[in-house]
Structure 1
């Protein structure tokens, strides 16, 4: 087995497929697993350059995160990759109480003991820009939305679980970790790379600005230099990490970018399951309904209270697929805050699994970052591999599973901020 260049641990499933796309597009042979793989599991996928683990820590409190991450990071470290990345949402969704990125930093320091941990603040290809430590985000990914400072973003400032109230990522993260956080800002990055660290002192964590796509390979070179001194190098950030490292490895011919992909062919039947609260997802559902999709609206509050599904839902789903080839199952207008992602995600996953097993569905779209990790597990997915790009950050993938009906399923996981209003119609025949 060749040396693994990069291993990443994603805090949810949609974010993990985002990272998978960036590193696969850079030319790395890559697989995304549900659980940290053993050497024996990796041996089943020869010639891997990179692998990911799709976690669910974005929806966990810090004490549960610590238990999960210490075990996962230790397992990944034993594989001896060159880089290990804790992949977070590109808008750094987190708080002291849920999905704490600071807790992940603390766990990474304990396991990898790096002298310094780089945190890549932006992902320009997704419309996420970090300037002087402040994060700005476009409204939507793969759309033409306006760019807002994060604490004034129409969607992220109103996130039901982790609303953004601070755009300065140093302040945001300092509420979650006691580590000193330095800044490598946009102006300093205009200097020769050997001078980038001139203003850094004893900070353990280094936030790195990212504004332009053209900057990313230079950031990757800086990270590669840090890895040679701190191998394996533990880093934190959105898929800007994969963009930076992949860009550097392309420039140095370690990897060769993959430019040819299968055409996204429409599917005869499509199921979309959505637990997203995003207004972007709401507009996508509205558009899909206007273009021939049938819908089933779940009572999210009732499911949360009962922690189970009404069995008649499966009958309704089967009946609808007898007359329709495209159906969206979604949780409607969830006006109650903080409904449990595990219960809703598990319900959506069970519905998707039933549709594949009983309704001959070959392609499923799962929308919603917080619920996606639980939905994937309920669908009995063990791993996924990228098939083709769709919209940046949300590729179409092939599923691996011990369930013969799920094995080979085409599946797309998208975060709430991803895609223009016609997103769901891209996947199905008219």
Structure 2
């Protein structure tokens, strides 16, 4: 293993793993902190469910993952968080990054969530989603991590003890050597972190090159683009043409959606006109077992190898707020996760061999219920969304709520021949 990665949710882990595979690293995603030997791969991504847990728990899980990766031989650690910098005033991005710096005995790390392929860019330290500031992108309504401040220096500074600097656009545009010099200057002046501007993939490749000697790199999956080249340039990584190879798929296909993002709601809307769609209503039936049974009764006679069924518990912001007001914020999230996790298990028992799950928290719950311990990463079906294969041969696509085009639930299965 060359690169050891820690991701704060499951879809973010597959997003990162897909990027590494695309740039020629054989990559395996493991679920939770490893408790035994790590799989053979160029990169190992540890998928945690730590984005919205208390900061102290996120730190503990991340340090345990870091120790396992270092014991497995990792030469560099990558801490991956969402390209919309999902966090709260108390963390968890800052506390985890600072704890990892201490564990690695390093004094400085970059932070760059940019992912231009999905419209996430950073300019003058401000995060944009498409043409809108993060705070005007819909993320301000996120039920767990509402993002109302697009100024990443301000957001990160509130979460860490050390100070935060900026590597601005003009420096990034000048290339890897200029970026490296500016990061060195910031570190020597006492900055513990630096937000880096990035508008294009070329910027991200330059940032990755500039961070070749950093023990810790933090950011969205985009900034990992340049890391495989560093290992290849050092003679540690051979050229690989089969990094995305997976076993043949089998069985019928289905989509589970728990994300309430605008992108996922639009994807459900498009699917509704083409394939069977069931929209569960947790507000009307606030019982996980009853919701799961509704879904599993509904799929009888509808499962097919030719087209997916879509089962969604997603809802617009007003419905989410109503459910949270009725049963509590944490209980509302747990209800949807538990219901869809049970549906995932029921679908696989009924012969589903190709399953897409939309939403990081939903993906974590589904993977846990299915008992999946590791995923071999395959080809991308959208930017940041790869097919993966479990130990049993189940093909899983774990989709961040914000990712993918409007017709993703339809096109995802077109290249998969059962």
TM-score range, shorter chain: 0.7 to 0.9
CA distance in 1, matches of 2:125, 2:46: 28
For normalisation by structure 2, the TM-score amounts to 0.86
Alignment partner for residue 69 of structure 1, among 49, 62, 69?
62
CA distance in 2, matches of 1:315, 1:222: 51
Alignment partner for residue 32 of structure 1, among 29, 33, 41?
29
Determine the structure 1 residue equivalent to 2:190.
202
Contact 2:249 2:395 in 1 (8 A): no
Deviations 1:370-399 (A, max 9, x none): 322122111211111122111010001101
1:119 match: secondary structure: strand
Determine the structure 1 residue equivalent to 2:395.
410
Contact 1:347 1:375 in 2 (8 A): no
2:46 match: secondary structure: strand
* 2:342 is the counterpart of 1:350: yes
CA distance in 2, matches of 1:256, 1:17: 22
CA distance in 1, matches of 2:310, 2:222: 31
Q: What runs of 5+ residues in structure 2 fail to find an aligned partner?
A: none
Number of residues of Structure 1 aligned to a counterpart in Structure 2 = 398
Residues 129-148 of structure 1: matches in 2 within 5 Å?
Answer: 129-138=121-130, 147-148=131-132
CA distance in 2, matches of 1:236, 1:350: 34
* 2:8 is the counterpart of 1:11: yes
* 2:114 is the counterpart of 1:128: no
Determine the structure 2 residue equivalent to 1:105.
97
1:92 match: secondary structure: coil
Residues 80-229 of structure 1: matches in 2 within 5 Å?
Answer: 80-97=73-90, 100-138=92-130, 147-153=131-137, 155-189=138-172, 190=174, 192-193=177-178, 195-197=181-183, 199-200=185-186, 201-226=189-214
Determine the structure 1 residue equivalent to 2:46.
53
1:225 match: secondary structure: coil
Stretch deviating more after TM superposition (9-18 or 29-38): 29-38
CA distance in 1, matches of 2:159, 2:58: 13
Shift of 1:207: 1.8
* 2:377 is the counterpart of 1:386: yes
* 2:308 is the counterpart of 1:326: yes
Deviations 1:269-289 (A, max 9, x none): 321111010121111111111
Deviations 1:348-391 (A, max 9, x none): 1221111111x211100100123221221112111111221110
For normalisation by structure 1, the TM-score amounts to 0.84
Shift of 1:56: 0.6
